[in-house]
Amino acid sequence: MKNLLKILFIVVTVLTTYACSKKEGCTDPLATNFNPNAEEDDGQCIYAEKGCMDSRASNFNPHAITDDGSCIFPLVPGQPTPSPLQIPQIFSQSLPAPIIPINNPQTVEGVSLGRKLFFDPILSGDGTLACASCHSPEFSFTDNSQFSTGITLQQGDRNSMPIFNAAWNVDINSDAKFFWDGRANGLEDQALGPVVNPIEMNNTWINATASLQADSEYPSLFNAAFGTTIIDSSLVTMALAQFERTLISGNSRADLFFLGQGSLTSSELSGYDLFTTEFGGDCFHCHGFANEPLFTDNAFHNNGLDATFLDLGLGDITGNPADNGKFKTPSLRNLAYTAPYMHDGRFATLDEVIDHYSEGLVHSSTIDPLLKYVAQGGVQLNPTEKADLKAFLLSLSEPDFITNPDFQDPN
């Protein structure tokens, strides 16, 4: 009997010791502190605020607060292949999820079709002008002319805007306005106008879609992307928008510095200090900083170019006199490739732009209140400060963006 009790005591002791020795930790693979060696969950799992929020995705994270565009969807036979945007680290850390319409998800087939359309002059009235004619990769998807020339050899009165980071084109009021004057609501809507503009592609959508329909390749490409061989303007603009959303620039030398993965020169660092202080260049109010890495607020401002307005800008769209002379804030990324500058391309060099904000500001009735030094003509930078500010601004340019093989002409 004593031996039996002794054996029972040993067994209970061993089992208790084993149970108490189970390694505790976070056992949820979705947690940032997941411990694959843990045998028992300790209730201390920590979850990232950002992740895939679509329950249809294989990497759905029910704990995510903000969708980061990383969803991975299982392949469905006969359906387009999902193609999540490749989001730079500095964007995923600092920005909300990209804006992708629920009725136009990114797919491999849609992006490929949009890319082909973007570089194909088939959309123009005489088959000579493509989207890329005025939005070339080598110039960060603008051109190097003050005003672009259409198929009738007429020129517009606005400088061609560069195209990148359009998936984050939203201002503080959640408005996604495109063009210098904000006349288009969304990327798909933006793509409608140039085809029918008489001084751009000078076509009709009926003629443009008929040309695509009669082409030997396009009907099958639209079928692969959208499940139909019947081509209309809506599907064309959806494909173009899918391609344009892939044009993401966020890996410049400055970005690497902000991430702690690279360095800037002493001049560039001084320029960044000037950029982010009211008593320096005072640029950050409209153009952001490291934690707002689009380097635009996507809003509309009168930046002191003229005392009176030949071009009303936003005011021409809203009809509100308080909006006269206001134009969309461009991003300061890729300035090395996007000259000339301003809505009318009046400044041929970056030096001229800096001179404008330093001593060339002009007062008018709708001047932006953020331009605190307009009474003095500007922020009054000395030559060294101008050189430093320019050096920092150029560090936001990304050579790999303009040479990315996925962004070049496939035709």
Q: Which of 197, 217, 248 is the last residue of a domain?
A: 248
Whether residues 322 and 364 share a domain: the answer is yes
Q: Which of 54-68, 241-255, 268-282 has the lowest mean pLDDT?
A: 54-68
CATH of the domain at 283: 1.10.760.10
Whether residues 228 and 281 share a domain: the answer is no
Whether residues 333 and 281 share a domain: the answer is yes
Percent of the chain past pLDDT 70, that is, above it, reads: 91
**Cα–Cα distance, 343 to 326 (Å, whole number):** 10
Residues 205-216, mean pLDDT to the nearest whole number = 98
Residue 329 lies in a domain: yes
Residue 132 lies in a domain: yes
In the structure, what pLDDT confidence band is assigned to residue 55 with cuts at 50, 70 and 90?
A: low
**Cα–Cα distance, 131 to 393 (Å, whole number):** 27
Residue position matching structure tokens 């992006």: 111
Whether residues 193 and 124 share a domain: the answer is yes
- What confidence tens digit (pLDDT) does each residue in 229-254 have? 999 999 999 999 999 999 999 999 99
Asked if pLDDT for residue 205 goes beyond 50, the answer is: yes
Residues 191-205, mean pLDDT to the nearest whole number = 97
Residue 166 lies in a domain: yes
The pLDDT of residue 62: 81
- 322: nearest Cα among 374, 371, 364: 364
Asked if pLDDT for residue 112 goes beyond 50, the answer is: yes
Percent of the chain past pLDDT 90, that is, above it, reads: 77
For 118, the domain range is: 108-248
Give the chain's domain count: 2
The 8-class DSSP code of residue 82 comes to B
Whether residues 201 and 265 share a domain: the answer is no
Residue 35 lies in a domain: no
The pLDDT of residue 46: 82
Tokens of 334: 């890729």
CA 217, distance to chain mean position in Å, is 30
Q: Which of 248, 275, 301 is the last residue of a domain?
A: 248
Q: Which of 222, 248, 274 is the last residue of a domain?
A: 248
The pLDDT of residue 130: 98
- What confidence tens digit (pLDDT) does each residue in 133-168 have? 999 999 999 999 999 999 999 999 999 999 999 999
The pLDDT of residue 18: 47
The 8-class DSSP code of residue 400 comes to H
- 192: nearest Cα among 123, 142, 143: 123
Residue 183 lies in a domain: yes
Whether residues 234 and 313 share a domain: the answer is no
Residues 58-77, mean pLDDT to the nearest whole number = 69
Residue 101 lies in a domain: no
CB atoms within 10 A of CB 314: 25
pTM, to two decimals: 0.84
**Cα–Cα distance, 342 to 329 (Å, whole number):** 9
266-275 and 383-394 helices, crossing angle to 10°:
100
Residues 50-67, mean pLDDT to the nearest whole number = 74
Residue 79 burial (10 A CB sphere; 0-12, 13-18, 19+): exposed
**Cα–Cα distance, 6 to 369 (Å, whole number):** 87
Q: Would you call 284 helix, strand, or coil by DSSP?
A: helix
> For the chain, what is the radius of gyration of the CA atoms?
27
Whether residues 136 and 114 share a domain: the answer is yes
The pLDDT of residue 6: 60
Residue position matching structure tokens 């970056």: 350
The pLDDT of residue 14: 47
CB atoms within 10 A of CB 402: 20
CB 285 within 8 A of CB 299: no
Residue 128 lies in a domain: yes
Q: Which of 3-12, 266-275, 314-323 has the lowest mean pLDDT?
A: 3-12
Beta strand pairing call for 327-328 and 300-301: antiparallel
Residues 20-37, mean pLDDT to the nearest whole number = 76
In the structure, what pLDDT confidence band is assigned to residue 180 with cuts at 50, 70 and 90?
A: very high
**Cα–Cα distance, 286 to 263 (Å, whole number):** 25
Top pLDDT among 176 and 86 is at: 86
The pLDDT of residue 63: 80
The pLDDT of residue 13: 55
Asked if pLDDT for residue 126 goes beyond 90, the answer is: yes
The pLDDT of residue 21: 54
Whether residues 284 and 241 share a domain: the answer is no
Whether residues 175 and 309 share a domain: the answer is no
CB 231 within 8 A of CB 209: yes
Whether residues 231 and 259 share a domain: the answer is no
Whether residues 260 and 244 share a domain: the answer is no
Whether residues 200 and 292 share a domain: the answer is no
Residue 147 lies in a domain: yes
The pLDDT of residue 370: 95
Compute the mean pLDDT over every residue in the chain, rounded to the nearest whole number. 91
